[in-house]
Amino acid sequence: EDQVTQSPEALRLQEGESSSLNCSYTVSGLRGLFWYRQDPGKGPEFLFTLYSAGEEKEKERLKATLTKKESFLHITAPKPEDSATYLCAVQAITTSGTYKYIFGTGTRLKVLA
Amino acid sequence: SAVISQKPSRDICQRGTSLTIQCQVDSQVTMMFWYRQQPGQSLTLIATANQGSEATYESGFVIDKFPISRPNLTFSTLTVSNMSPEDSSIYLCSVGSRRTDTQYFGPGTRLTVL
């Protein structure tokens, strides 16, 4: 069964304290892996797409990496405004041959000033 | 990326009633989707809204409960029918890009059923 697992569920960091969020997946026919940021009461905001093992993407203090089994979202010197829930999703092939997203449950990040 | 709006942004409804949520995109898009995000949980795909034909529903979701319309390439509606408190969720529409496979999400509709 296709599955996406994110860890930790919640993370509290001091401002400037770097860390990593994990997204592990088991899926047949991976087409892409996506990272989103979701603020309370809002829809997910797209961050990155990764397609193949070894690929890396960066945006400001965030860097996403991908292996064959998992992805990491590295946060360098975070600031309080980085506080949000970070969602990981994989795009997998369905039994009917179409593609759909499977989301993890997210990591709630809180950065303290 | 496309600009996506949803109406209403939130609503409180009585058990047994129905609510229709609208999703408007500022450009023509091929793929539109509807998701549910229950409290403390992740996003679950309800259906793919197909323009000019019936929506494609995921396992566990049926047309009688969640009828969907997609009259053109910029607009879709999701109706939550005969609501119960278990339907209290955030409902999100998203649009997909065939070129990049990336989905972009609307702001969501927060539904509370009493």
Mean pLDDT, chain A, rounded, equals 93
Mean pLDDT of A95-104: 81
What tokens does A6 get?
């994110």
Q: What is the pLDDT of residue B71?
A: 93
Which domain covers residue B89, as residue numbers? Answer: 4-113
Q: Please give the residue of chain B at the shortest CA–CA distance from A42.
A: B107
Looking at the complex, report in whole angstroms how far the Cα of residue A27 sits from the nearest Cα belonging to chain B. Answer: 16
Element holding B25 (H helix, E strand):
strand B19-25
- CATH number at B80 reads 2.60.40.10
Predicted confidence band of residue B97 (pLDDT cuts 50, 70, 90): confident
Domain count, chain B: 1
Q: Does A60 score more than 90 pLDDT? A: yes
Contact list in B for residue A46 (CB cut-off 8 A) is 1, 102-105
Mean pLDDT, chain B, rounded, equals 93
Q: What is the pLDDT of residue B37?
A: 95
Q: What CA–CA distance (Å, rounded) separates B108 from A44?
A: 9
Q: What is the pLDDT of residue B102?
A: 86
* Residue of A42, A59, A98 to mutate, testing the B interface (most B Cβ within 10 Å of its Cβ): A42
Q: What CA–CA distance (Å, rounded) separates B34 from B16?
A: 21
Predicted confidence band of residue A66 (pLDDT cuts 50, 70, 90): very high
**pLDDT tens digits along A4-59:** 999 999 999 999 999 999 999 998 778 899 999 999 989 999 999 999 999 999 99
Contact list in B for residue A100 (CB cut-off 8 A) is 45, 48, 58
Q: Does A97 score more than 90 pLDDT? A: no
Q: What is the pLDDT of residue B92?
A: 97
Predicted confidence band of residue B44 (pLDDT cuts 50, 70, 90): very high
Note whether A43 contacts B92, CB cutoff 8 Å: yes
B108 touches chain A (CB under 8 A): yes
> Which of A45-54, A93-102, B15-24 has the lowest average pLDDT?
A93-102
List, in order of start, the domains of chain A with CATH numbers. 3-112 (2.60.40.10)
Q: What is the pLDDT of residue A29?
A: 75
Q: What CA–CA distance (Å, rounded) separates A93 from B98?
A: 14
Q: What is the pLDDT of residue A35?
A: 97
Mean pLDDT of A87-100: 81
Taking alpha carbons only, the member of B7, B85, B87 closest to residue B46 is B87
Q: Does B65 score more than 90 pLDDT? A: yes
Instruction: Give the single-character DSSP code of B58.
Output: P
Q: Which string of DSSP letters, residue by residue, matches A18-50?
A: -EEEEEEEE-SS--EEEEEEE-TTS--EEEEEE
Contact list in A for residue B105 (CB cut-off 8 A) is 36, 43-46
Looking at the complex, report in whole angstroms how far the Cα of residue A4 sits from the nearest Cα belonging to chain B. Answer: 11
Rounded to 5°, the CA angle B76-B110-B56 comes to 35
